[in-house]
Each structure stands twice: as structure tokens, then as C-alpha cells.
Amino acid sequence: MSHPLSDRINSLPVSQTLAMAAKARELKAAGKDIISLSLGEPDFNTPNFIKNAAIEAINQDYNSYTPVDGYTELKEAICTKFKRDNDLSYQPNQIVVSTGAKQSIANVAQVLLNPGDEVLLPAPYWVSYSAIATLCEAKFVEIPSTIETDFKITPEQLKAAITPKTKMIFFNSPNNPSGTIYSEAEYRALAEVLEKHPQIFILSDEIYEHINYGEKPFSFATIDTMYDRTITVNGLAKAFAMTGWRIGYIGAPQWIAKACTKMQGQITSGTNCIAQRAAITAVLAPVSKIQYMVDEFKNRRDMVLELLGEIDGLKLNVPPGAFYVFPDVSSFFGKTIQGRTIHNANDFSMLLLEEANVATVTGEAFGASNCVRLSYAASVAQLQEAIQRIKNVLS
Ligand code: GLU
């Protein structure tokens, strides 16, 4: 029997980060000794002070439907956080809380994009950006960058990519998968180009904001001329080790927030009540409370760069944020390793999975076909073992 699925779902690619994580889990369940560096997920537990807030909420009988855009107390707490951490002034009616930043981004795309609109994606970019644009029947336009420029695009490239059909650009700093952080000056130079094109909206995904090693990330909406057309996206997953709690949010012009609420009201309604109560405690907590995780990520990054640096042929840069390294592996293309000819980053990633038992994500998924992504949100012992295995296979 044929399965008459819609063209929409048939043309949608599977999320490669999730697919690789699922594959690693499957192989592990089948008895293979896989080390998964595929998923961008902190290996810490959610801090106790946040867990206690959730337990309290259960005991206080928070169990009813929540307002579609989030509890007022949470939206107020998010406004306080935006002011404190980002020098951004938002009112609660500009905030929408969603089931993870992924839903926040999907809402924004759904309410702003029409079929045929163009969305600019500075590459490398997170896997789901392109898929979310495609679901809106918009066309995504990649702006490439390489490891030589620390994976940053230039204002000239941005200018050249803009057409009358350009409706949005998705920025993400600190970046997944490259760990790159744009400086204030770099963002201001890009904003100067965008100032000449008032039809373009900016989605600024700041989910890795707190995972930085000294270089404080800049919030795009603090540029006066950009505030009215920027949607600031953030969430709790990465900084607070709360991936499974699914809390994301936006700060946006009120009319966009209102439209996102309308969209969400027809698809998921308000986000989980317990997770929202815990989120109030999390967003109001001083950033110093999560610094131990950031410090540990930095130690791991330094160790991973040192160990990977001993492998000939991997081109590396120093990512100042997030918890990924994104080596350029193109020097292996055309070579035969363990009887396999490596044509591209997919082959390289599969080589690591099948011969080294290490799961990574191909750069193809992120619009960067010379690279692979390794998440270092794993234990030191696992990272050391994984890199040793990679080294054995490649030498
Ligand atoms: N954002 C994480 C990653 O890139 C989680 C998986 C996903 O949603 O893509 O690995």
C-alpha cells in the first residue's frame, strides 16, 4: 500500500543532528561501543535550585493549561533577564514562551515568510534553519564562510546576497556548529548594510549566549536601527542543562509576538506548566550560578583542540563559544582510509562512526561541506577515548 504523505513532509529532510544521535543510540543498544559526540546537549544535570522550583510547582498544583504566550511572571522574568544580560528593553507583551527555541524560530518563520521569500543563512548554520524556511515555502540562500575567516561572513557578502525578495536573515552567535562569536563591530557593520533594506527582518538566535569563554556575545537588537525588526531568540536548554524541559522564548516587536501567539495557539498552546515555573527561577538566577559548567566546557574545549591538533590533516580554529569544534577535513577528500574512499564530509563522518565508533555530524547538514562537527559536551574520559580512536583510524 502506498503512503500518501504530503509533498511538504516528503520534501522535508530529517534533522541530521537528531538522526545521528538516534543512530548512535541504536548502535549502542545493539551492543556497539559508540561514543556519541553528535548531539549538542550538556552532559550536566539540571541544577538543583531549578529542579526544586519544579518540584514546588507540582506540589502547588500547577497543572492547568497555561496562557498561550507564557505565564506573566515568566514573561516579566524574561524581560528582567533581557535588561540585565543584554541591555535590551522588552515589555511582557513582546515576549512569547514556546516549547524550545526551535518552536520559537518556527513560529517566527511561519508568521513572517510567504512562499517565494528569500531567507539568508550565513553558513555554517544550524540544521533546522533551512528546513524551517523550506516548510514556509521560502527559499534559503546560503552565504558561505570558511575556517580561514573563523566562519564569519563579511558585509560585502551580505550586500551581494540581498535581492528584492529577501525577507529575513538568521544570525546565530555564538554559532552552532562553529562556535564563532561576532563582535559588536562586526555586527554593526552588517547592520549598516541591512539599514539600506528596511524590508529585511533579523532573527537573532542567542541560545548559546552564556556558553562563551570571555568574549561576551552582542545582542543584535541593541542596535537602535535594528530593534524594530529584530526577533531575539533564546532559551534555557544550553546554559541551564535543561534540553528536555523545552523552554524557548522570543523578544520581538509586539505585532510579531502577537502573531506568534496566534500561531502557537493553533498548534501547541501554552508551554508545559511545570517547566515554565522552573524557568522563572532559572532566568532570574545570577549567571554566576551556572559558571561551573561554562568553565568545564572551556577546559574540555582546550583539551579537545590540543588532542585534535595532534592529528595530521585536520584544520582547526579556536571557537570562542558554544560547545562544538568544527574542523575542516577536506584534506582527506580523495584519500582511501581503511579501504574506504573519502569523497566528502558525509563519508568522513561515516568513517568515524563505522571504523572509530565515534558519532559526529557531517558539515553538509550545516551548509559547510568541508567540515564535521564534534560536540565536546561529553566527559573528559569520553572525549580522550573518542579522539584516540579517531587518531588510530586516520593514521
Ligand atoms: N541544537 C542541538 C544540536 O544542534 C540539539 C539537536 C537539535 O535540535 O538539532 O545538536
297 CB burial (10 A radius; 0-12, 13-18, 19+): buried
Ligand 1 nearest-atom number relative to CA 40: 10
CA angle 248, 136, 369 (to 5 degrees): 80
Please tell me the CATH superfamily of domain 7-45+290-394, with its number. Aspartate Aminotransferase, domain 1 (3.90.1150.10)
Q: Residues 108, 202: contact at Cβ < 8 Å? A: no
CA 47–ligand 1 middle distance (angstroms): 21
Q: Is 18 in the pocket of ligand 1 (CB under 6 A)?
A: yes
Q: Whose CA is nearest to atom 9 of ligand 1?
A: 17
Which among 153, 148, 179, 142 has a CA at the least distance from the CA of 330?
148
* Average pLDDT by stretches of 10, the chain with 395 residues: 90 91 92 94 95 98 98 98 98 98 98 98 97 97 97 98 98 98 97 98 98 93 98 97 98 98 98 98 96 97 98 96 98 96 96 96 96 97 98 94
Q: Whose CA is nearest to atom 1 of ligand 1?
A: 40
**How far is it, in rounded angstroms, from Cα 16 to Cα 20?**
6
Helix (H, G, I), strand (E, B) or coil at 180: coil
Q: Is 175 in the pocket of ligand 1 (CB under 6 A)?
A: no
**How far is it, in rounded angstroms, from Cα 337 to Cα 393?**
8
CA 193–ligand 1 middle distance (angstroms): 30
Ligand 1 nearest-atom number relative to CA 375: 10
CA 336–ligand 1 middle distance (angstroms): 31
Q: Is 39 in the pocket of ligand 1 (CB under 6 A)?
A: yes
End-to-end CA distance of the chain: 49
Residue 326 in grid coordinates: 568544527
Q: Residues 90, 221: contact at Cβ < 8 Å? A: no
Residue 2: per-residue pLDDT: 84
Task: Locate CATH 3.40.640.10 in the chain.
Answer: 48-286
**How far is it, in rounded angstroms, from Cα 81 to Cα 90?**
10
Residue 65: per-residue pLDDT: 97
Residue 216: per-residue pLDDT: 87
Which among 153, 184, 181 has a CA at the least distance from the CA of 169?
153
Task: Please provide the CATH number assigned to the domain covering 48-286.
Answer: 3.40.640.10
Task: Locate CATH 3.90.1150.10 in the chain.
Answer: 7-45+290-394
Q: Whose CA is nearest to atom 3 of ligand 1?
A: 40
**How far is it, in rounded angstroms, from Cα 380 to Cα 314?**
20
Question: CB-hemisphere CA count at 13 Å for 379?
Answer: 5
Q: Is 40 in the pocket of ligand 1 (CB under 6 A)?
A: yes
Longest CA–CA separation in the chain, Å: 62
Task: Please report, as a single letter, which amino acid is at residue 331.
Answer: S
Q: Is 127 in the pocket of ligand 1 (CB under 6 A)?
A: yes
Sign of CA dihedral 365, 155, 327, 329: positive
The β-bridge relationship of strands 35-36 and 358-359 is parallel
**How far is it, in rounded angstroms, from Cα 345 to Cα 139?**
24
Residue 225: per-residue pLDDT: 97
Residue with grid cell 528582567, as numbered in its chain: 80
**How far is it, in rounded angstroms, from Cα 308 to Cα 374?**
11
Q: Is 230 in the pocket of ligand 1 (CB under 6 A)?
A: no
Residue 12 in grid coordinates: 522535508
Q: Residues 123, 143: contact at Cβ < 8 Å? A: yes
**Run of H or E including 98:** strand 95-98
Q: Residues 40, 127: contact at Cβ < 8 Å? A: no
Mutate to test the pocket of ligand 1, among 36, 127, 360, 366 (most ligand atoms within 8 A of CB): 127
**How far is it, in rounded angstroms, from Cα 213 to Cα 234?**
18
